[in-house]
């Protein structure tokens, strides 16, 4: 799942929640066994695959190191 808009929901330095639109995108499930097999047991590689899958659900400015655009 990728969520956008939360930075406006509870801005740094503010004491209250602000009503704003949020977007939640849900991707296809990723089987842990498939990750383990593709990463050949490398835990960092598995987490990078998860990060890349989540990044694909988000607009480019939210993707950080996983932005391939």
Q: Where are the domains of the chain?
A: 2-62
- What is the value of pTM for the model shown? 0.79
Distance CA 31, CA 37 (A): 10
Tens digit of each residue's pLDDT (9 = 90 or more) over 10-24: 888 888 898 999 999
Distance CA 44, CA 50 (A): 10
Contact predicate 22/6, CB 8 Å: yes
- What does pLDDT average to over the chain? 92
If you compute the radius of gyration of the chain from its CA atoms, what whole number of angstroms results? 15
Whether the predicted pLDDT of 69 surpasses 70: no
Tens digit of each residue's pLDDT (9 = 90 or more) over 47-59: 999 999 999 999 9
């Amino acid at each position: 799942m990728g969520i956008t808009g939360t930075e406006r929901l509870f801005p740094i330095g503010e004491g209250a929640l602000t009503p704003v639109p949020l977007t939640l995108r849900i991707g296809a499930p990723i089987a842990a066994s498939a990750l383990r097999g593709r990463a050949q047991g490398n835990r960092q590689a598995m987490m990078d695959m998860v990060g890349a899958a989540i990044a694909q659900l988000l607009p480019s400015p939210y993707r950080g190191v996983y932005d391939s655009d």
